[in-house]
Structure 1
């Protein structure tokens, strides 16, 4: 038994793959955007509900530093882009003007300087491969949550704090709240609650040391941080915001949890017990041959997940994607595509997901094909 995928749309990239990172779709249904980042700028283009781009509404944001020196996010209304860099978080308007900047400690681990600008370390060999943080907009775009290297100058937290989690006013960059992230990150990313702008998820990677998962709640006065686990990667938040999709750091366990971190109704799938061995893998009892979940996928709707095992499949042959319906028998069903797919999936909501074309010049939008032969 398999689930047949039907191609719903193809969305061309905004810039050549030789000049920019891969195209991405961000935002929720009704407010999706196609975005792409080069070293010099971010281009954002609204998409309608059929994933058709609106070229006349394109917005460009000048980048303050190259794309390998940090992460970035565009606000839900495309009025501002925020760049999380090595030494600062900076908000940039379409005009190119800096709306605000919050400086923080340097993400290069051995550096104890508080840099005033990117130019101070742009050509330094020891700063070529720094660790990094991330930023995320709240669902309404009014808040920016920022994971930064601490401590901030003149801060409230201990000077020994390694990583901080900030809540910022998106309009002026004012620090509204701060908390110790209780981590030493190599990288991170944010996933917002889709309906409640006061909640945010933060998935942190510490390399081989672990993957701390944090869930934040801001009540207008106080930031409360739940430390959900030290070894989980947050992949997706359901449309209601009531469910989290996670994969363990060792990629053995996929689970659906509540926002407090508890597994819901035994919705947990062990990779070795759930996923059949790749048909092209050699026979034998070697435990190293079993598939592992990717750190990719998400909720295609409130109860269905799209996941993949591309990383472990790649050694043996075609990569595999899977659909899981949590309301049914909780079975992991392989996805059958009309043509080969060579990337991991990203959930887009309302029953859709996307994959990157092999040439990295387009995104393919898929949905379940329910037509009968």
Structure 2
């Protein structure tokens, strides 16, 4: 094993740095995603969502938010022209001028039993029982033509709640198909370069939390279920998926042939034997050969270069400046981190 003075670091090469348009924020309210002209930086605030094109143009799109960020998640189309807000009672697609393109209602995600099918945010805006409740999640397909959404449904119109995974037309919100998930908890989507594929990880608060790997064939939504796994990222080709088990002990690669050999978190010479080392629940897959993953201990996370074909841990990533947070997907060849002072996002590539 390496010693603190002799560990070989793999250098991260700076690509660009983009200031946060709404100022410092929680990591959960900020993400990067691939777009047709390059990565998009997206930040969610209480009153608006902002998308910045990371291509040197400085183009910015602002979308008024229909409800504060504590009432659900959000997504932006790959071209940055449409924002989708996944709320407690509905999905709403919003144009940059604030116009609602469409809205699709669903049953209430409130933590308390709430069999009411709300027609507006105003009905529960001041109710403590609804504040901080799950809001499901939604994501655009790689071509921006479809919306994948995880929604709540009260079975038979009663108080027994269930969940469905739905595929909608991004142009008008028409529900094209859906399937019951058999889950009970909030989820997050894992995008895929194939518009007909999407991943969904559902956090049920225990070790049986599953990951769903979905396929839309134009008529029917089907999915595979991976129990006790969390989807982290897809390879640029889409041929492989990176997952971590719910105990965060091992990474796995999945493809048509099944799971590859798992890899445990590397021994980190900077931590003590008493500290448990865990793989983080976010990672980037910038190339077919390389994964940038992170481990978490009682201190700061460390980023590692992992061989994407063998899952061998090559060594720690070395950054030329201090960074914060976890590595996140940003498109082919690059990944993102926060700046040390949380005022900007850095994009990185592997050094030559």
Asked whether 1:269 is paired with 2:269, we answer no
> What does 1:299-314 correspond to in 2, within 5 Å?
299-309=285-295, 311-314=296-299
Higher strand proportion, which one? 2
Residue 292 of structure 1 is matched in structure 2 by 278
Residue 242 of structure 2 is matched in structure 1 by 245
SS at match of 2:177: strand
Aligned length: 344
Instruction: Please say which of residues 69-78 and 201-210 is displaced more in the overlay.
Output: 201-210
Retained in 2: the 8 A contact 1:22–1:361? no
Retained in 2: the 8 A contact 1:74–1:80? yes
Instruction: Please say which of residues 169-178 and 159-168 is displaced more in the overlay.
Output: 159-168
Cα RMSD of the aligned pairs, angstroms, is 2.4
Aligned counterparts of 2:214 and 2:313: Cα–Cα separation in 1: 32
Q: Per-residue deviation at 1:160?
A: 5.1
* Alignment CA distance shift 1:189-1:222 (3 Å): same
Retained in 1: the 8 A contact 2:146–2:168? yes
* Alignment CA distance shift 1:308-1:170 (3 Å): same
Q: Per-residue deviation at 1:147?
A: 0.3
Kindly provide the CA deviation profile for residues 105-137 of structure 1, in whole angstroms up to 9, marking residues without a partner as x.
111131111111111111111112212310011
Asked whether 1:134 is paired with 2:171, we answer no
Instruction: Please say which of residues 329-338 and 123-132 is displaced more in the overlay.
Output: 329-338
Q: Per-residue deviation at 1:42?
A: 1.0
Asked whether 1:254 is paired with 2:256, we answer no
Asked whether 1:174 is paired with 2:168, we answer no
Retained in 1: the 8 A contact 2:35–2:79? no
Q: Per-residue deviation at 1:152?
A: 8.2
SS at match of 1:183: coil
Residue 363 of structure 1 is matched in structure 2 by 345
SS at match of 1:68: helix
Retained in 1: the 8 A contact 2:78–2:142? yes
Identify which of 270, 275, 278 aligns with 1:279: 270
Aligned counterparts of 2:281 and 2:246: Cα–Cα separation in 1: 9
Retained in 2: the 8 A contact 1:233–1:246? yes
Aligned counterparts of 1:82 and 1:153: Cα–Cα separation in 2: 28
Aligned counterparts of 1:147 and 1:199: Cα–Cα separation in 2: 15
Q: Per-residue deviation at 1:306?
A: 0.3
* Alignment CA distance shift 1:215-1:79 (3 Å): same
Aligned counterparts of 1:81 and 1:354: Cα–Cα separation in 2: 21
The TM-score normalised by the length of structure 2 is 0.90
Retained in 1: the 8 A contact 2:32–2:40? yes
Residue 217 of structure 1 is matched in structure 2 by 215
Q: Per-residue deviation at 1:346?
A: 1.2
SS at match of 2:190: strand
Identify which of 9, 24, 27 aligns with 1:17: 24
Stretches of structure 2 lacking an aligned partner (at least 5 in a row): 1-7
* Alignment CA distance shift 1:82-1:308 (3 Å): same
Aligned counterparts of 2:70 and 2:256: Cα–Cα separation in 1: 32
Kindly provide the CA deviation profile for residues 74-97 of structure 1, in whole angstroms up to 9, marking residues without a partner as x.
111222111100011111111211
Residue 192 of structure 1 is matched in structure 2 by 191
Residue 205 of structure 1 is matched in structure 2 by 203
SS at match of 1:150: strand
Q: Per-residue deviation at 1:16?
A: 1.6
